[in-house]
Amino acid sequence: MPDAPQPEPVAEAKPDALMIPKSFKVGKTQHDRLDSICTFAEKILGGDRSKKITAHVRDQRNGKMFVTLDPNDMIRFPSIGPNKGPRYYWTPKPDGVEYGYLVDAAKKEKKGA
């Protein structure tokens, strides 16, 4: 009896944010180290420097950097307002990077902006 056909692999959705270990930084100068993180993140997030769509990095002071393409994105909702708690759910990857996906309330908030 032949094997049953297998479904085509589903491409993983592009994340909305990344949490990148600081150990991923490479380069001799601070500019080079920051650029190495931006280049890494832009490949995953869909940045395009020729169109001025660039990564924005925030140090989390826990050995990780929060990176998005939107300079106004935050990890958590503001303490006042209708939504509370995290704006992302996180999926860890084998290399130590975490992919962040906006929760439904954050997606709705972005569409309304």
Give, for all 113 residues of the chain, the pLDDT tens digit: 445 454 444 557 899 999 999 999 999 999 999 999 999 999 999 999 999 999 999 999 999 999 999 999 999 998 888 889 999 999 999 999 999 999 999 888 887 65
Sign, CA dihedral 16-22-25-30, equals positive
The tokens of 5 are what? 């056909």
Please give the pLDDT value at position 113: 59
Residue 90 lies in a domain: yes
Residue 60 lies in a domain: yes
Please give the pLDDT value at position 9: 46
- On whether the CB atoms of residues 41 and 18 are closer than 8 A, the answer is yes
- Which domain covers residue 66, as residue numbers? 17-112
Please give the pLDDT value at position 30: 95
Residue 44 lies in a domain: yes
Residue 51 lies in a domain: yes
Structurally, the chain folds into a number of domains equal to 1
The tokens of 79 are what? 């303490």
Q: Which amino acid is at 62?
A: N
Q: What is the pTM of this model?
A: 0.85
DSSP string, 19-73: EEEGGG--SSSHHHHHHHHHHHHHHHHT-BGGGTB--EEEE-SSSEEEEES-TT-
Rounded CA-CA distance 89/97 in Å is 13
Rounded CA-CA distance 42/38 in Å is 6
Please give the pLDDT value at position 4: 47
Count of CA atoms in the C-beta half-sphere (13 A) of 107: 8
Please give the pLDDT value at position 11: 58
